[in-house]
Amino acid sequence: MKPTPERILDAAEDIFAEKGYAATSLGDIADMVGIRSPSLYNHFRNKEALYVAMLDRLIIRFSEPLEWLLQGDVDRQRVLNWQRQSVELHAENPNLARLLQHAALSGGPQINQLIEKLFKPLAENSANLVGPNVPTLMERPELLPWILMAFNNIVMSYVTMAPMYREILGMDPFSEEGTRNQIDSIRILTEALWAYNEPAKGSS
Amino acid sequence: MKPTPERILDAAEDIFAEKGYAATSLGDIADMVGIRSPSLYNHFRNKEALYVAMLDRLIIRFSEPLEWLLQGDVDRQRVLNWQRQSVELHAENPNLARLLQHAALSGGPQINQLIEKLFKPLAENSANLVGPNVPTLMERPELLPWILMAFNNIVMSYVTMAPMYREILGMDPFSEEGTRNQIDSIRILTEALWAYNEPAKGSS
């Protein structure tokens, strides 16, 4: 069996991801771990400390694909690999997307610092990640963050909206086939963008 | 001043959209309207009835752009107009996106019927909306719902994730400029997809 602190983090992840920060009680988490609430304080100072530790652990894990990408050439094949890794990671563990979405909707402690850890490397490399391959965007560099957020939304909201999409997709969004279709769709959108030359227009 | 039932629906929309179904109390809503909780029951049977009436009103409003599109030819210019109308409607009223996202994360009453009203017309017309213009997808028709959901996520998650994107975008996502950049980005992605011919591959 895993050590108690890790089991507490696992349970916290699932419950915070389902209910959001405000609606989660430490009692719920203790119950799920099978310990008494006071024992929880032997490992985490309070609800906020547990929330931050739990999110920190997830952010480290979800930052790996981008770190891997930025350690080498940002060429097309490696961008597609990064996207695939990200989709697969979110399918394996839908909790990060859910936790961030809850925090965006209803707030959560220290959320600015957490966003910074996760999104800043993405934002700082937006030109690098999207730009050079897309002629149209070379002329509209101000749109780069919007395009990057668009792809981020495609990946993360597939996870957070999954219960609503089950019927429309006709299958479990997290099934092997569902995940493969999601990866293929993102690849096609990406390659389409790379191939695109916007027709010249009068300056507007 | 608006009639009381409408003021109750307005307040319910804002509070359910912020907190989600479970965390919202009728007392919060009555306080915001400036009436006493028991008066609320003169207009709505209970919390569930209020929630459903409030969401129904929103879904009717947000269904209008697609109804408009489907009443005429689904040509390229009208598809772009539909997308623009949808983005502008969500910017004017971010509550529907937030409410659906809360429901997807934590549940809500009668949510299946509500999804059906909103997404079924979209799903039933996916071939019509995406298909004929995208040669690549003529050969991968099974991806149509994923592509449609991808664009839906770009539109709706821009709204639900807005507080997290403020810093990355460097401006209020709902400002005039922010909304215009979002519309331009979606247009470019759409036109890129229309223009795309996936290179032929060995059957895989």
ipTM (interface pTM): 0.91
pLDDT at residue B202 greater than cutoff 60: no
pLDDT at B168: 85
DSSP E strands in A14-60: the ranges are none
CATH code that applies to domain B59-195: 1.10.357
Top pLDDT among A203 and A31 is at: A31
Residue B122's closest chain A neighbor by CA? A168
C-alpha distances in Å from residue B181, one per residue of A91, B84, B161 = 30, 11, 16
Asked if residues B37 and B30 have their Cβ atoms less than 8 Å apart, the reply is yes
| Contact flag B105-A20 (C-beta cutoff 8 Å) | yes
CATH code that applies to domain A58-195: 1.10.357
Residue type at A69 in one-letter notation: L
Within 10 A of A187 (CB to CB), how many other CB atoms are there? 16
Top pLDDT among B43 and B73 is at: B43
Asked if residues B153 and B100 have their Cβ atoms less than 8 Å apart, the reply is no
Tell which B residues from 75 to 94 touch A, by Cβ distance under 8 Å.
Answer: none
pLDDT digits (tens, 9 = 90+) for B92-150: 999 999 999 999 998 888 888 878 888 888 888 877 787 666 777 888 889 999 999 99
> Residue holding tokens 């990640």?
A129
Query: Out of B145, B154, B167, whose CB is closest to A154?
Result: B154
Q: How close, in Å, is residue B71 to chain A by CA atoms?
A: 22
Candidates A100, A142, A163, A104; CA nearest to B94 is A104
**Strand, helix or coil for residue A191:** helix
Hey, where are the domains in chain B? 59-195
Residue B181 CA neighbour count, 13 Å, CB half = 23
pLDDT at residue A42 greater than cutoff 50: yes
What burial class does residue A180 get, using C-beta atoms within 10 Å of its C-beta: 0-12 exposed, 13-18 middle, 19+ buried?
middle
